[in-house]
Structure 1
Amino acid sequence: MTVFRAAVFRTRRVLPGFGLSLGYTVFYLSLIVLLPFVALFLKSATLGGERFWAAVAEPRAVAAYKLSFLSALGAALVDAVFGLLVAWVLVRYRFWGREIVNALVDLPFALPTAVAGIALTALYAENGWIGKLFKPFGVKIAYTPLGIAVALVFIGLPFVVRTVQPVLEALEQEIEEAAATLGAYRWETFRRVILPALKPALLTGFALAFARGVGEYGSVVFISGNLPFKTEIAPVLIMMKAEQYDYAGAAAVGTVMLLISFVILILINLLQGRASRRTAQG
């Protein structure tokens, strides 16, 4: 037995050891991720404390923060609900055109964001195919915060579907049948059996959709109208400052967006880890 264990430990692994792998990982993340963030902080630091605070705390910037994060949060919640529904239909049912629907889910990934913004604006404007249906009820979608939410739902849906779908495929239907045999109703089976197993993946998809929504620019810039204090999101404000050669001010607003997003994503990851541990223990 001792000889066998020694032979196992001496077996060469396909991938390099922990030290070398960790070194490549840290180097890659530092070069691609960390270095641009450091440059962002250094650029915003050139303003000094007083000018930095004036740039990030002006009423226009605060309104842009609120609109960006609230719109991204609302869109991610909608994507979590309907992304789960779409993934469920694609995994549990076989129907004509299923492959086409499955391909359509990935369309927001492949479609340039500017093209998506133009298409959504044409659809949801007051004279558009969908917008004119809501016009008699006094509901305006394009050039309003609602239009921003629609664009963010569009670009965030694939993140939830593609995150939840593999977990649903691996979830054995015998578990649901056993719950039904024990007298559980459909909603009770979903709430106590299926949802706990899907919760970590659902939180991951929610986090990805939220993160994409916070930083989205191309699909929103057309449908929002970019009205200060009304439909101007933070990425648009950053772009406008950059076009005015106020690079330090743009970096300052970007730094605030980065810090807030980082804190929110850390909290979501903590919830995801907690849900994963509960699933493993249950």
Structure 2
Amino acid sequence: MSRRISPVIPGFGLTLGYTLVYLSLIVLIPLGAMFVHAAQLTWEQFWAIISAPRVLAALKLSFGTALCAAIINGIIGTLLAWVLVRYTFPGRKIIEAMIDLPFALPTAVAGIALTALYAPAGLVGQFATDLGFKIAYTPLGITLALTFVTLPFVVRTVQPVLADIPREVEEAAACLGAKPLQVFRYVLLPALLPAWLTGFALAFARGVGEYGSVIFIAGNMPMKTEILPLLIMVKLDQYDYTGATAIGVLMLVVSFILLLLINLLQRRIETP
């Protein structure tokens, strides 16, 4: 007769109840309230708000810069994770701590520091000015700020997966005649890709909604460097709660669709 082992956590019904209540209070009810408030608009009114040139320009800027930052971190973050996992060198612990710095640093402080560095009179920005282009107060500056903020998401997602891949597997492939590119393509990439997509999605989602680190370096010029979160704040300052809610719904729907596509792609890759 087999002995039944009691679970450490309470039963399924109780834990599921706690989970649903928590998610409802923290996520579902606030988002549902936003949709209910936006439902007071007719479709014509809602379309007029979200199709305004200023909103479309901010939408393109927010999602475009977030996508660029996620792609950059997808490459740089993977290289950093590789170095931290595969090599031991002096100062490794310091680099590990620096990668986590964007998690602990207030985003406003990061924005001020980046603006002081990349402004036309800043330490780096003055050299860019001498070369004939600007970093701060341009989409390039916004992308740099988002890259700084979202870097840990890719590194910390890929790093454990790399650590779990034995070096012997790569050495065996090399002994069998595989070239370095083939080792990466057929040995490392299949194991890394699902984790990489997760880190990419997290970085992209954080970049789309980032506010504090961007408003200082963006310059906040309508139709040029104005992001969607800032436009929502402008609407709220003008007591246009309906307009702010409509833009929020637009951001939520577009973000959900993109993240859903990424998750479907990740599931397809994981399915043998």
Distance 1:54 1:27 in 2: 36
Equivalent in 261, 272, 277 of residue 271 of structure 2: 277
Give the structure-2-normalised TM-score. Answer: 0.97
**What is the CA distance between 1:225 and its match in structure 2?**
0.6
Query: Is 1:121–2:109 an aligned residue pair?
Result: no
Partner of 1:75: 69
**What is the CA distance between 1:124 and its match in structure 2?**
0.7
Query: Is 1:60–2:54 an aligned residue pair?
Result: yes
Matches within 5 A, 1:69-218: 69-218=63-212
Q: Secondary structure at the match of 1:226?
A: coil
Deviations 1:201-222 (A, max 9, x none): 1000000000000000000001
Partner of 1:224: 218
Query: Is 1:251–2:245 an aligned residue pair?
Result: yes
Q: Secondary structure at the match of 1:16?
A: coil
Equivalent in 16, 19, 22 of residue 13 of structure 2: 19
**What is the CA distance between 1:84 and its match in structure 2?**
0.2
Distance 1:105 1:88 in 2: 13
Give the structure-1-normalised TM-score. Answer: 0.94
Equivalent in 240, 259, 262 of residue 265 of structure 1: 259
Distance 2:65 2:212 in 1: 15
**What is the CA distance between 1:235 and its match in structure 2?**
0.5
Specify the code of the residue in structure 2 equivalent to 1:206. Answer: F
Q: Secondary structure at the match of 2:70?
A: helix
**What is the CA distance between 1:135 and its match in structure 2?**
1.7
Q: 5+ unaligned residues in a row in structure 2: which ranges?
A: none
Q: Secondary structure at the match of 2:271?
A: helix
Deviations 1:107-152 (A, max 9, x none): 0111111111111011111111111122222121100011110011
**Equivalent residues, number:** 272
**What is the CA distance between 1:52 and its match in structure 2?**
1.8
Q: Secondary structure at the match of 2:186?
A: helix
Q: Secondary structure at the match of 1:96?
A: coil
Equivalent in 22, 32, 57 of residue 38 of structure 1: 32
Distance 1:252 1:170 in 2: 45
**What is the CA distance between 1:23 and its match in structure 2?**
2.0
Partner of 2:44: 50
**What is the CA distance between 1:14 and its match in structure 2?**
1.0
Instruction: Name the stretch that deviates more: 16-25 or 239-248.
Output: 16-25
Specify the code of the residue in structure 1 equivalent to 2:134. Answer: K
Equivalent in 227, 231, 234 of residue 237 of structure 1: 231
Deviations 1:259-279 (A, max 9, x none): 00001111111111222224x
Deviations 1:80-103 (A, max 9, x none): 000000001111111111000000
**What is the CA distance between 1:63 and its match in structure 2?**
0.8
Distance 1:190 1:12 in 2: 44
Distance 2:65 2:200 in 1: 13
Specify the code of the residue in structure 2 equivalent to 1:198. Answer: L
Distance 1:70 1:183 in 2: 42
Specify the code of the residue in structure 2 equivalent to 1:15. Answer: I
**What is the CA distance between 1:44 and its match in structure 2?**
1.8
Deviations 1:30-58 (A, max 9, x none): 11100110111122223333222211111
Identity of aligned residues (%): 62
